[in-house]
Chain A
Amino acid sequence: SQQGEEDPQALSIQEGENATMNCSYKTSINNLQWYRQNSGRGLVHLILIRSNEREKHSGRLRVTLDTSKKSSSLLITASRAADTASYFCATDKRADSWGKLQFGAGTQVVVTP
Chain B
Amino acid sequence: GAVVSQHPSRVICKSGTSVKIECRSLDFQATTMFWYRQFPKQSLMLMATSNEGSKATYEQGVEKDKFLINHASLTLSTLTVTSAHPEDSSFYICSARRTRDEQYFGPGTRLTVT
Rounded to whole angstroms, the CA-CA distance of A43 and B36 in the bound complex is 11
Stretch at the interface among A14-22, A58-66, A75-83, A98-106: A98-106
Given A2-B43, A42-B93, A88-B43, residue A101 in contact with residue B107 (CB < 8 A): no
Chain B nearest CB: distance from A90 CB in Å? 8
Chain A nearest CB: distance from B3 CB in Å? 11
Query: Which residues of the other chain, A, contact B110 by a CB distance below 8 angstroms?
Result: 40
The answer to whether B34 and A100 have CB atoms under 8 Å apart is yes
| A-contacting residues, B2-54, CB 8 Å | 6, 32, 34, 36, 42-46, 49
The answer to whether B46 and A45 have CB atoms under 8 Å apart is no
A–B Cβ pairs within 8 angstroms, 20 of them: A31-B101, A41-B107, A41-B108, A42-B6, A42-B106, A43-B105, A44-B105, A88-B44, A98-B97, A98-B100, A99-B49, A99-B97, A99-B103, A100-B34, A101-B44, A103-B43, A103-B44, A104-B43, A106-B42, A106-B43
Contact of B104 among A30, A45, A100, A102 (CB under 8 A): A45
Answer whether residue A48 sits at the interface, using C-beta atoms and an 8 A cutoff: yes
The answer to whether B101 and A48 have CB atoms under 8 Å apart is yes
Chain B nearest CB: distance from A98 CB in Å? 5
Q: Of all chain B residues, which has the CB nearest A97? A: B49
Chain A nearest CB: distance from B13 CB in Å? 19
Given contacts A42-B105, A43-B93, A99-B97, 6 further A-B contacts (CB under 8 A): A35-B105, A41-B107, A45-B104, A100-B34, A100-B46, A102-B46
Rounded to whole angstroms, the CA-CA distance of A102 and B43 in the bound complex is 9
Query: Which residues of the other chain, B, contact A2 by a CB distance below 8 angstroms?
Result: 43, 45
| B-contacting residues, A92-113, CB 8 Å | 92, 98-106
Query: Which residues of the other chain, B, contact A102 by a CB distance below 8 angstroms?
Result: 46
Chain A nearest CB: distance from B95 CB in Å? 8
Rounded to whole angstroms, the CA-CA distance of A92 and B1 in the bound complex is 20
Query: Which residues of the other chain, A, contact B46 by a CB distance below 8 angstroms?
Result: 100-102
